């Protein structure tokens, strides 16, 4: 079954709005695992406007499920990852002022840079994934960077799902088939939710993991965190 990794950035955003330590981010990570999440994802940015570097350092020894740190591999991020040594690092080319991740890597233009960064992580036993769109050339070139996996950027799928779900998912099916052929593992994330998750998961061959934050945490405000995580898991199981 495709694994569910819960991105807890939005919990940190609420905490930071008032200062202090409510809600407690470490407790949220532990609770997500207790409620059934098979992974925890954080995306620390250099301005620490939601997840802080200290949060990342605190979470790793406190959980038993997979820990995924995603972000732009600037020097401070690289140092953090090498210190924490998560199970997986997901490289995202977001600018410091981006509200959220909004583009995948150009793996041709950035091949040398990615190859160097990924080689460093892999010497420390950290699985690497790169955030990428469905462009065939970019996926083919991802192999040259040494990445273990790609994370498909699913915003376009989510935006078009209710207009025509078959049309929306076709590029992702083609991308997944190509990734499978060339030996890249497949993760996915961005705007996946209770409406569109099941259709995506059951149609993407070899989908290993989805990372979901904003929609899941928003749903939890109404439905409760434990119930919400279980609802997302049921969407992944019903394939």
70 is catalytic: yes
Rounded to 10 degrees, what is the CA torsion of 37, 43, 49, 53? 90
Residues in the chain: 239
Q: Is 2 helix (H, G, I), strand (E, B) or coil?
A: coil
| CA–CA distance, 215 with 222 (Å, rounded to integer) | 11
Q: Report whether 184 contacts 147 (CB < 8 A).
A: yes
Q: Report whether 3 contacts 212 (CB < 8 A).
A: no
33, 133, 151, 190: the active-site residue: 190
214 is catalytic: no
43, 50, 133, 209: the active-site residue: 43
70, 133, 151, 209: the active-site residue: 70
| CA–CA distance, 137 with 72 (Å, rounded to integer) | 21
H helices within the chain, ranges in order? 9-18, 25-34, 53-59, 75-84, 111-123, 136-145, 155-160, 165-181, 197-203, 214-223, 225-237
Tokens of 147: 């990445």
190 is catalytic: yes
Q: Report whether 143 contacts 107 (CB < 8 A).
A: no
Catalytic machinery residues: 43, 70, 190
């Amino acid at each position: 079954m495709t694994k569910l990794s819960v991105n807890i950035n939005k919990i940190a955003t609420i905490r930071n709005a008032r200062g202090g330590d409510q809600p407690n981010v470490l407790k949220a990570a532990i609770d997500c695992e207790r409620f059934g999440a098979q992974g925890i994802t954080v995306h620390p940015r250099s301005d620490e406007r939601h997840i802080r570097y200290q949060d990342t350092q605190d979470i790793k020894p406190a959980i038993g499920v997979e820990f995924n740190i995603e972000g732009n591999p600037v020097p401070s991020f690289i140092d953090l990852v090498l210190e924490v040594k998560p199970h997986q690092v997901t490289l995202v080319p977001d600018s410091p002022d981006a509200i959220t991740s909004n583009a995948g890597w150009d793996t041709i233009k950035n091949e040398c840079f990615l190859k160097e960064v990924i080689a460093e992580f892999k010497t420390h036993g950290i699985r690497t994934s790169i955030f990428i769109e469905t462009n065939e050339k970019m996926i083919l070139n991802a192999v040259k960077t040494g990445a273990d996996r790609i994370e498909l950027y699913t915003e376009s799928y989510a935006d078009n799902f209710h207009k025509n779900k078959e049309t929306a998912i076709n590029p992702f099916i083609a991308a997944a088939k190509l990734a499978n052929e060339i030996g890249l593992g497949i993760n996915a994330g961005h705007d996946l939710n209770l409406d569109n998750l099941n259709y995506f998961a059951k149609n993407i061959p070899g989908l290993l993991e989805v990372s979901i934050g904003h929609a899941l945490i928003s749903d939890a405000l109404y439905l409760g965190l434990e119930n919400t995580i279980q609802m997302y898991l049921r969407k992944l199981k019903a394939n």
